[in-house]
Amino acid sequence: MSNAAYDAVCTHPIPPRMRNGTEVPFIGPNFEAYKKAHAETVGPNADQWWAQMARELLHWDRPFQTIRSGSFKTGDIAWFPEGYINASYNCVDRWAFEDPNKTAIIYEADEPGNHKYISYGELLREVSRVANVLKRFGVTKGDTVSVYMPMTWQAVAAFLACARIGAVHSAVFPGFSSEALRDRINDCRSRVVLTADEGRRGGKAIALKALADKALEGCPHVEHVLVLKHTGSENVGWVAGRDKWWHEESAKVPNYCPPELLNSEDGLFILYTSGSTGKPKGIMHTIGGYLLGAALSVKYVFDVHPDDRFGCMADLGWITGHTYLVYGPLALGVATTVFESTPTYPTPARFWETVDRHRLTHFHTAPTAVRLLRRLGESHVQNADLSSLRVIGSVGEPINPEAWHWLNDHVGRRQAAIVDTFFQTETGSIVVSPLPGAIECKPGSATVPFLGHEYALLDPVTGKELEGSGVEGVLVFKNTWPSIARTVWQDHNRWLDVYLRPYPGYFYTGDGAVRDKDGYIWIKGRVDDVINISGHRLSTAEIESALILYDGVAEAAVIGANDELTGQAVHAFVTLKREFKYDPTDEPALAKELVLQVRKVIGPFASPKKIYITPDLPKTRSGKIMRRIMRKIIAGEGDQLGDLSTLAEPGVVDVIKAKVAASA
Ligand code: WTA
C-alpha cells in the first residue's frame, strides 16, 4: 500500500456494547478520552502514574521508593528497585486466598470433551509442589530452569513454580528440534529441565521426551529432568538417576511452598528470540516491571473485568503465551485458557466451539490462523454461540483487512471490539494497540501507542524524528517503561548493540511503520533480516546457518517472501560444493533433504517452502550476497531490479530468474 492509501481506509465505529449499557469500558467513549488518558501517562506525571498502577495492580512484599532509574542512553534500566515482589504470589496466592474455588485455568485438551477447570486453590497446590520439587533438586534463586513442555495446565504451574522460588525459567517452544533445544539449554546453563512424556496436537503425539533426550546428549550440565506423564506413552526412554516422574516427585513434598522474597529487578524469565544474526538471543525480563506491563495491558487493552474468561491461543513457548496466557490474566485474577489443540482439529469449528463451551469473553489469536479459517469458509463459525465475546485480539504480524473483516463480521458479529496489538519479546507487553472502548479501528492498523508509551518514527539514515502525518520510518520508543527487557542473558553488550545503540536514546524495534493523517500507526514489518512465518519469528541468518551445516552446501541465501496463508514463507537459494555428488536430474530429492536439514537444526515451523539450487548467488564485488535481487525476483518484480552496477557476475541474475520461473 502506498502511504497515501492508508489515509483512505475507513474507520469502524466502536461496537455498541463497548460504548454503553452495563459494560462501560475503563477508557472511553472516544478518541478524546484516550488522548486525555494517554497524555496523563507520558507527561511530567508519568512516574507517579506508573507508581500508582504498580500499587493498585500488584502486591508488594516491600514497598519501592524509586519509581524508575536508568535510561536507554545508558542501558541501565531499572524500575521500582527497592521493591520486593513475587510474581507467583501475585498470580496465584492472593486469588486463592480470596476464593480458592475460582477458576484459574480452563484447560481445553486436544480431544474435545476432555477439558478441565483448575481452580486457584488447586493451582496454588500444584505450583507449590513443583516449587518444592525444584528446591529438592537444589534449584535456588537465580538458577535457570529450561521448560520444554506441551500446552498443559501443568506447564503454567511450571512457570509459576520457578517464579515462586526465584528461578529464571527459559521456555523452549515444543516445535523446536533437539538441536535448537540443546543450544538453548546450554546457553543458559540449566541444570534442570522440565518436560513431558509426549505432547499432543491435532490428534497426533509429539515425542517430547525423546526429543529432549537427544538434546540432552549434548548438555553436560543437566542433572535432573522432571517428566510430566501426559499421554501415558509406554515408549519413554529413561536415564536412571537423571529422570524423575513429575507425579512421583510431587507426592514426596508438601502442598505448600512459601514464596521467596525477591527484588523487583531479579530475573523472572529468559526467552530466546531471533535477531539479525544466527545465534538466538536470551531476552531477559525482570519481575516487577514485567508483571506490571502484563497486568496493565490485559486490563486496558482487553478491558478485562474480574469475572472474565480470557482465551489466548498462543503457545506458551512464545512471548504472547508468557504475557497473555500466564502472567497478565493471572495477575488480574481472571480465568485463562490453555488450548492444546489446533484451529482445525477435529474440524475448523474448534476455536468457536471452545469459545462457546467456556463462554470466553476474550479471544486472542494470530492473523495466520484467521486467514486459514477464513479460507475454509464461514459455515464453521455459524453454529457456535459467540455472544460472550467482548474483545477479540490479533497479534504477531500485520493483519490484512480481509482477515480483520472476517473476524469482525463472523466471529465478533459486529458486537465485539477488535484489537490489533503490536508488541515484541523485547517489549514484554503491548506497546501499540487500540483501546476497545475509545479507538475507532482501521483494519490493518495497530492504531495508537498504549498508555505510558511514547514512540517516534525515525529517518533510518539520519536518525532524526519524522514529524507530521504521511511519513514512514523506523519505529522506536522514547523513555523506558516497566516491562521492557533489561538485557540479553550473559551478553549485555549485545543488548546495547542491537536495541539501544542504533539510535542513541531510543529503543529500536526493528520494524518500519507509517503514520497516517489521523495519527494512526501502520506497522509495515521488519526492516532487518527477521522473517515472520505464521507469527513465528526467525532470522534468515539462522536458517542459512542450518543449511550450511549440510555436507554438500557451499553457500545459502534465505529470504522471506509474501505468502497468502503464513504471512511470509522461507525461500532458500543454495549453491553446492564442487566435489559434492548428487543427481542433477533429481533436484527435488536434494531439496527435500535440505528441508529436513532445517527441520532438524531448528524445527518444522522453519521449513523452507522452496529451495532453489543454483550455480551461483548474486554478490557485490566485495562478496556480499545481494538478497534484494532474489526478493524482487520472487515477488515477480524481476524486471525492476534497479541499480545492478555493484553486481560482480551479472549473468547470475538470469539463471536465478529461470530457476524461479521453472519452479513456479
Ligand atoms: C511482528 C510477537 C504487525 C513485528 C508478539 C515484531 C506485528 C515481531 C504485530 C515481534 C502486529 C507483532 N502487527 N506486526 N500487531 N505484532 N508483530 O518477538 O514484526 O515473536 O517486531 O513477538 O512480530 O515478534 P515476537
Nearest residue (CA) to ligand 1, atom 20: 537
Instruction: Give nearest CA residue, ligand 1 atom 25.
Output: 424
Interval between CA 242 and ligand 1 midpoint (Å): 38
Q: How confident is the model at residue 554 (pLDDT cuts 50, 70, 90)?
A: very high
Cα(66) to ligand 1 centroid in Å equals 31
50 backbone φψ class: left, alpha, beta (φ>0; ψ -120 to 50): alpha
What is the mean pLDDT of the segment spanning 182-194? 97
The stretch 625-636 carries a mean pLDDT of 92
As a whole number, mean pLDDT of residues 245-253 equals: 98
pLDDT digits over 12-54, tens only? 999 888 876 567 899 999 999 999 999 999 999 999 999 999 9
Handedness of CA 592, 594, 595, 599 (dihedral sign): positive
Phi and psi dihedrals of 488, rounded to 5?
-100, 130
* Cβ of residue 172 lying under 6 Å from some atom of ligand 1: no
608: pLDDT strictly greater than 80: yes
Do residues 570 and 533 lie in contact, with contact meaning Cβ atoms separated by under 8 Å? yes
Measured from the Cβ of residue 196, the count of other Cβ atoms closer than 10 Å reads: 26
- 319 C-beta closer than 6 A to ligand 1: yes
User: Ligand 1 within 6 A of 395 CB?
Assistant: yes
pLDDT, tens only, 92-148: 999 999 999 999 999 999 999 999 999 999 999 999 999 999 999 999 999 999 999
**The pLDDT of residue 4:** 76
Centre of ligand 1 to C-alpha 3, Å, is 20
CA nearest to 57, candidates 288, 287, 296: 296
- Spell out the SS3 assignment of 491-542: CHHHHHHHHHCCCCCEEEEEEEEEECCCCCEEEEEECCCEEEECCEEEEHHH
380 pLDDT tier (thresholds 50, 70, 90): very high
CB 300 within 8 A of CB 67: no
Q: Which domains, ranges and CATH numbers included, belong to the chain? A: 17-71+78-445+482-505 (3.40.50.12780), 534-663 (3.30.300.30)
Confidence of residue 280 (pLDDT cuts 50, 70, 90): confident
**Ligand 1 centroid, distance to 608 Cα (angstroms):** 20
Confidence of residue 310 (pLDDT cuts 50, 70, 90): very high
CA of 422 to the centre of ligand 1 (A): 6
Is the pLDDT score of 278 beyond 90? Answer: no
pLDDT digits (tens, 9 = 90+) for 491-514: 999 999 999 999 999 999 999 999
Average pLDDT over residues 611-617: 95
Q: Is any atom of ligand 1 closer than 6 Å to the C-beta of 421?
A: yes
Task: Write out the three cell numbers for 433.
Answer: 494497540
Residue from 283, 301, 424 to probe ligand 1 pocket by mutation (most atoms less than 8 Å from CB):
424
Predicted local confidence at residue 22, as pLDDT: 60
% pLDDT > 70, the chain: 99
% residues pLDDT > 90 (the chain): 91
Residue in 1, 475, 537, 568 to alter for ligand 1 test, most ligand atoms within 8 A of Cβ? 537
pLDDT at 277 over 80: no
ipTM of the complex: 1.00
Q: Assess whether the C-beta atom of 404 lies below 6 angstroms from ligand 1.
A: no
Cell of 53: 498502577
Q: Say if ligand 1 is within 6 A of residue 539 CB.
A: no
3-state secondary structure 621-656: CCCCECHHHHHHHHCCCCCCCCCCCCECCCHHHHHH
Q: What is the pTM of this model?
A: 0.95
